[in-house]
Chain A
Amino acid sequence: MSAISAAEKVDGFTRKSVRKAQKQKRSQGSSQFRTQSSLVELSPLPQLKDAPTTEQQELFCQKLQQCCMLFDFMDSVIDLKSKEIKRATLNELVDFVSTNRGVLVEAAYPEIAAMISNNIFRTLPPSDNPDFDPEEDEPTLEASWPHIQLVYEFFLRFLENPDFQPSIAKRYIDQKFVLQLLELFDSEDPRERDFLKTVLHRIYGKFLGLRAFIRKQINNIFLRFIYETEHFNGVAELLEILGSIINGFALPLKAEHKQFLMKVLIPMHTAKGLALFHAQLAYCVVQFLEKDPTLTEMVIRGLLKFWPKTCSQKEVMFLGEIEEILDVIEPTQFKKIQEPLFKQIAKCVSNPHFQVAERALYFWNNEYILSLIEENIDKILPIMFGSLYRISKEHWNPTIVALVYNVLKTLMEMNGTLFDELTTSYKAERQREKKKEQEREELWQKLDELRVKETSGMLNNTHSLQNAQNNNNTSAK
C-alpha cells in the first residue's frame, strides 16, 4: 500500500502497465501433488551406462518408475535432494533413448507411458488472472517446469527413436491418452504448449488409427471455444498442427473436411481473441483453397458474413486474409465472388479508421489483384466508384486521400470511358439514393400509423377471441 506514489494518489487510477510491473512473475503448480501425503525420499540408482547390458533394461525400468514420483515446486525449499535426483535421472533417460539403439523393448512401453502420464497429465489449476489478456499479460508459468520439460523432451525422443513401434505403443497411447494430451493445450505456459504441439504432431504422424479421433477432438475443442467458453490457450498451436494436416489431405476432399472448414474454421473468425491465432487460421484457410479452389466462393461468403462490424483491428486482419486468398484465387472463382466482395472492399476503403482504409487500398499494390480487377473492370468499377469518389473529397487522413487518388487514376486507366460516365452520373446517382432513403422513411411512417390503427382493432379482436374460448370451455364441461 505504502509503495503507491503521490502521482497515483492524485487521479486515483494507475496505469495498467504500472500495476503489472509491481506484481511479481507468478508461477503455478497443479492441484495433484498437494493432495499427496508425505513423500519417500529418492535414493540415486547407478548410472545406466555403467550397468552391464543384461541389467540395463531392468535399471531403465526402475529409473522410469522412480521418475513417476511428483514434487511440489510451489515450495521451493522442500525435497531439494530428491528433486535433483529426479532431474538428473530424467536427463539420463533422455540421453539413453536418444543415443542408444535397441533399448525400446516391448516391456519398457508400459513403464514409459506410465511415467509420462504421471508427470504431464494433471488438472490445470484455475487461472490466477480471470481476465488474462494474452497480448498484454505475462503468462503464469508452470512451476514444475524443470521436471516437466525433461519429461516432454524424453517423450519426443521416445517417439522419434528409430526403434519406436507404433503397433506396440498404441496399446498405451490410445484415445484416452490423446484426450488428456489435448486438454493440456489449455496450459498458460507457452513453453509447454510448444512441446505439446510437436508431440501431438508426431503422434498424428505415427498413429494412423488415431488420426480421425484427433481431428474430431480438436473439432470439439474449437466448437467449445467458439460457442461456449471463448477461452482456450492452445488454439494457435492446434491450428498450426492442422495447417500441416490439411496440407496432407487427399483429393477430392472428404465431406468431413469441408464441414470442418465451413462450420469450424470460418466461424472461428468471430472469436474475441482472433489476433492471437489469426495468422495460423488464415494459413489453414488458404491451405484448403489451394487444395480445392471450388471452395473459394463458400469461404469468401462466409468471411463476409462474419465481417467485423465494430472492431477495426479485426477488420484489418480480415482484409489481410482476403488478400492472401486473392493471391491464390483462380480467375473463374474470382468472377463468382467479385460483386459481394468488392461491395465490402468499397465499404472498407471509405472507413473512417485510416488503418482499415489503408489496408484495403493496399490491394491496388498487388499485381495479381490488379490484373483480376482489370479483367473485370466493367463490374468492379461501378461498385467501387461511389466510395472512392466520395472519400477522395472527404477523408480526414491525407495519406488515405493520396492513396485514393492513385487508385482512382489506376482505375481510370483501365477503362476511361466507363470512368467518365460514372463521374458524370455520380451526382444524379447520389440524388436518387437520397430520394430512395426518403421514400423508405415515409414508408415506415405509414406503416407505424397502420400499426396504431390495427393494434386498437386487434385488441377488440383478442377480446372476442377470448370470449369465444371461454364459451368453448364452458360448453366442454
Chain B
Amino acid sequence: MYGRYCSSIVSSAENPVSRRSRKQQLESKMAGADGDDSLYPIAVLIDELRNEDVQLRLNSIKKLSTIALALGVERTRTELLPFLTDTIYDEDEVLLALAEQLGSFTALVGGPDFVYCLLPPLESLATVEETVVRDKAVESLRKISHEHSPVDLEVHFEPLVKRLASGDWFTSRTSACGLFSVCYPRVSSTVKAEIRQHFRTLCSDDTPMVRRAAASKLGEFAKVLELDYVKSDIIPLFTTLASDEQDSVRLLAVEACVSIAQLLPQEDLEALVMPTLRQAAEDKSWRVRYMVADKFSELQKAVGPEITKNDLVPAFQNLLKDCEAEVRAAAANKVKEFCENLPDDSKENIIMSHILPCVKELVSDTNQHVKSALASVIMGLSTILGKDDTIEHLLPLFLAQLKDECPEVRLNIISNLDCVNEVIGIRQLSQSLLPAIVELAEDAKWRVRLAIIEYMPLLAGQLGVEFFDEKLNSLCMAWLVDHVYAIREAATCNLMKLVEKFGAEWAQNTIVPKVVAMANDPNYLHRMTTLFCINALSEACGQDITTKQMLPIVLKMSGDQVANVRFNVAKSLQKIGPVLESTALQAEVKPVLEKLATDQDMDVKYFAQEAISVLALA
C-alpha cells in the first residue's frame, strides 16, 4: 500500500524494477504452494502482511519464527528473508516487532554459518526514522554479531557498519555508532584502523544527533580499544565532545568520562581527563553540571583517592551550592556515597570541615526537592561519623528536618531511622520524632498518611512496646476510621504486622477490645473495618482469641441491616474458619452461614454459599 512512498527507505542497491519482479516471482511460488500443507504458512504470512489491519500484520510478524520453522532453513534464507527485506515499509510498530524477531533468528536460518543472511533486513531497519525501531535493529545486530565467525565479521558485518557510518541521512550514521564496539575486538588490525577512523568522523559529524550517539558510545568503544589508542584517539575525541557547542552532547561526554578514567593508569588521569572533568563541573549549562553531580560516585571511584581529595572535594562543594535546585538535589543525593568512599586517612577531616557546612545549608534550602533528596541520605552519615559527632553535629540537622514544612522531607528522615538507631539509639530522637509522626499521621494528603503507616511496624520495633503503647497506639487505631479506604486498609494490615511483632497477648489486651468495640459503630464502613481487622488478625492471634473473642462479634454482625456488612460476615467466616475450633465451626458458624445462604440479597447468598463449600460445611 505504501510501497512507492517508502521504497526510498529501503537502502538496498537494487533498482525497484528487479525488486518488484522478484517479489512477483516469490508470490507466485507461494501461491502455488497452497495445496501443500507444509508450504502454506508463507501464503498466510503474505496474505496477513497485506492485511489492512495493522494488528493482523503485527500478529503475523510476531509469529515469524513459526513460519520460518515451517519453511525450513533453506527456504527461510532464499525466500522469506528477501521478501522481508523488500517489504520494509510498514508501520513502525510492525517494524519494531520485525527488528526484535530477527535478533533471535540465527538457528532458523541454519546457524552461525548463515547468520549473515539476517544482515540485509536489519541494515534497512537500522536506517528508519523512528528511534525505537532503529535501536531495536541495532540491538539485534549487536546480538547476532557475536554469532559471526571472524571471517564473516570482516566480510559481511564490518562492511555493513561502514555503509551505515557513511550513510546520507543521519539515522544510519546514528545506528553505526552502536556497532563499532562489537566488531572491533575481532577484526584484523587494518580493519581496526578503519573502524577507528569511522568513529572519529562520526564524533565530528555536523548533525548533533550523530554526535550525541557517538558521545554516548564513546565509553563503550574506549573499553575495547588498546590502551595506546585510548590515549591517542579517544582522549582527543573526548575533549572535543566535552566542549561541544550543544550541551546535550557535552553531558554525554561526562558519562564517557567514567569509563575512560577507569581505563587509564593513575598517572595519566591528571593530564588526560581532569582538565575536561573540571571544566564539566563548572559548565555554564546546568544540564552538564547535573550530569556531573549525578555521576559523582562513579567518577570518584574512577579517579581514585588522591584526585578526589584535591579536585573532587571542592567540585562537590560547588555542586552542593549550585544556583540550580536540580543540580543541588542531584548532588545532595550523593552526599552519603561520596563521604563513604572518601579515603580513610582524611575522611573525617574532609566531612567535618568541607562537606558538613554545605549540608547544614542544604537543610534550610529553599527548594523542597533538594531538602528531601538530602533527607533520604543524611541519616547514613551517622554510621560514618560515629556516635559523638553524630550527636553533636548531625542530630540538630535531623531534628530540623523532622520539623520541615514539607512532609516528604520528614518522611524520608523517618524512613531511614534504622541507620541512626544503630549509632546513637532512637531515644535521642524520640522527643522530636513523636510530633513529626503525629503531624504526618494527620496530614491532609492521604498518600502521606499511607506512607507513614508503612513505617509503623519498623518504628514500633525500634521504639519498643512501651513507647508504642503510650504514644502511637492511639494513632494506629485512629487510622482504622480514616475517611479514605486505602488508609483503613493499610491500617488493618499494619495491625497484623504489629501483632506479629508484639505477640498475641499484647493484641488481646490492647488491640482486640478496640476492634471489637467498632462493631457497634453507627457507620457501616467502620463496622466493616472490624471484619477486615478480624480477617487480618485471626491467624496472628491464634485459635483461642479468635474463637472466644472475635467469633461472637462476627456472628452477631450477621444480623446487620446493611447487606455489605452481611456478605462480609460470610467472607470473614470463610477466612477465619480454618483457625477456629472445629466444634465452634459446626455448632456456631454453620447455622449462621446457612441462614445467610437464604438471605434476600443475592451477594450475601453468593458469599455464604461460597463459604459453606470452602469450609466443607454442607
Contact = CB atoms under 8 A, between A and B. Distances in A.
Interface of A: 1, 4, 8-10, 12, 31-32, 34-35, 123, 125-126, 176, 179, 220, 223-224, 227-228, 263, 267, 297-298, 301-302, 304-305, 309, 340, 343, 440, 443-444, 447-448, 450-451, 454-455, 458, 462, 465, 469
Nearest to B41: A447
Contacts of A123: 247, 284-286
Q: Which 5 pairs across A and B sit closest by C-beta, in order of nearness?
A: A34-B323, A451-B66, A12-B446, A301-B5, A126-B326
A12 B170 contact: no
B131 interface: yes
Contacts of A454: 66, 69-70
Given A31-B284, A450-B70, 13 more contacts: A12-B484, A31-B286, A31-B324, A223-B209, A224-B248, A227-B129, A228-B209, A304-B2, A343-B52, A440-B56, A444-B59, A455-B69, A469-B111
A421 to B, nearest CB: 23
A1 B54 CA distance: 50
A9 B444 contact: yes
B483 interface: yes
B361 to A, nearest CB: 15
Main secondary structure of the interface of B (DSSP, over half): helix
A454 B107 CA distance: 14
A330 to B, nearest CB: 18
Interface string B43-72: 010001000101010010001001101100
A179 B70 CA distance: 56
Contacts of A301: 2, 4-5
Contacts of A34: 323
Interface in B283-335: 284-286, 323-326
Given A31-B286, A450-B66, A454-B69, A462 B208 contact: no
B69 A458 contact: yes
B131 A298 contact: no
B247 A176 contact: no
Interface string B200-217: 000000011100100000
A469 B4 CA distance: 44
B229 interface: no
Contacts of B6: 305
Contacts of A304: 2
A447 B44 contact: yes
Given A35-B323, A227-B129, A454-B66, A8 B2 contact: no
Contact of B5 (A176, A298, A440, A443): A298
B130 interface: yes
Given A220-B207, A450-B70, A267 B446 contact: no
Contacts, number: 92
Contacts of B445: 12
B245 interface: yes
A224 B2 contact: no
A114 B377 CA distance: 45
Contacts of B170: 223
B323 to A, nearest CB: 4
B91 interface: yes
Contacts of A35: 323
B37 to A, nearest CB: 8
Contacts of A343: 52
Contacts of B247: 123
12 contacts: A10-B483, A12-B483, A31-B286, A125-B286, A179-B245, A263-B169, A302-B5, A305-B5, A309-B54, A340-B1, A447-B66, A454-B70
Interface string B98-112: 000000000100010
B130 A227 contact: yes
B245 A227 contact: no
Contacts of A227: 129-131, 209
B284 A305 contact: no
B443 interface: yes
Contacts of B325: 126
Nearest to B5: A301
A305 B483 contact: no
A444 B40 CA distance: 11
Contact of A305 (B2, B48, B245, B484): B2
Contacts of B207: 220, 223
A66 to B, nearest CB: 23
Interface in B69-97: 69-70, 91
Nearest to A343: B52
B70 A228 contact: no
A108 to B, nearest CB: 27
Contacts of B67: 447
A267 B129 contact: yes
B284 A32 contact: yes
Contacts of A228: 131, 209, 212
Contact of A126 (B48, B169, B208, B324): B324
A12 B131 CA distance: 40
Given A12-B446, A447-B41, A451-B66, A224 B209 contact: yes
